[in-house]
């Protein structure tokens, strides 16, 4: 625990006030047998498409967030698979730093089951690797490419702003 100049431990409230603050978000990678991934176009942004998902509520675990967001945004209530990617996104004022957890939503079996929340999303579509760089802002495109690799290789990837971490570097 951090100490004051007099070497006395800080009270917990003071100590935790010195610690970094991170937002937590989670998303779902729904895909088809051809490897295309569902992207959504939000009503509140015109510069990018996104992965279905959103911010965690207070006390909510990332997997719970991903399931809740999938149900709210696309009307799908289903179990999720393994964690594919964790992406740490640096602070961008006024938003604090962000940890984004992406889970395997499985194969999209029946597109007719999707019920879009039209207050939040304008549309959705299955997209291939050739579209991700065009539809998504750069760090999100890198993130989706990484999720696709994680699906293909059975790995979980650690990203920083969409770039893979080199586990051998500091």
- How do residues 19-30 score in pLDDT, each as one tens digit? 888 999 999 999
pLDDT confidence of residue 168: 46
- Domain range for 61 is 25-164
Dihedral of alpha carbons 146, 150, 151, 153, sign = positive
Residue 19 lies in a domain: no
Distance, CA of 39 to CA of 123 (rounded, Å): 9
Distance, CA of 162 to CA of 132 (rounded, Å): 13
Residue 29 lies in a domain: yes
Bridge-partner residues for 163, per DSSP?
A: 160
Report how many domains make up the chain. 1
Look up the CATH number of the domain holding residue 129: 3.90.79.10
Residue 13 lies in a domain: no
- How do residues 28-45 score in pLDDT, each as one tens digit? 999 999 999 999 999 999
> What are the residue ranges in the chain where pLDDT is below 70?
1-7, 166-170
What is the pTM assigned to this prediction? Answer: 0.90
pLDDT confidence of residue 61: 98
pLDDT confidence of residue 102: 98
Which of 87, 109, 82, 85 is closest to 98 using CA atoms? 87
């Amino acid at each position: 625990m951090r100490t004051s100049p007099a070497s006395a431990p800080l009270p917990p409230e003071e100590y935790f006030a010195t610690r970094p603050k991170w937002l937590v978000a989670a998303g779902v990678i729904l895909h088809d047998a051809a490897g295309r991934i569902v992207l959504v176009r939000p009503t509140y942004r015109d510069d990018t498409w996104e992965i279905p998902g959103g911010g965690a509520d207070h006390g909510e675990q990332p997997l719970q967030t991903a399931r809740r967001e999938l149900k709210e945004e696309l009307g799908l209530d289903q179990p999720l698979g393994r964690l594919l990617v964790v992406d740490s996104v640096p602070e961008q004022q006024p938003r604090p730093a962000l940890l984004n957890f992406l889970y395997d939503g499985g194969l999209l079996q029946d597109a007719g089951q999707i019920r879009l929340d039209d207050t939040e999303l304008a549309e959705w579509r299955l997209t291939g690797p050739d579209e991700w760089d065009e539809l998504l802002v750069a760090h999100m495109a890198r993130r989706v490419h990484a999720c696709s690799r994680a699906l293909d290789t059975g790995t979980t990837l650690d990203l920083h702003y969409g770039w893979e971490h080199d586990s051998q570097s500091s």
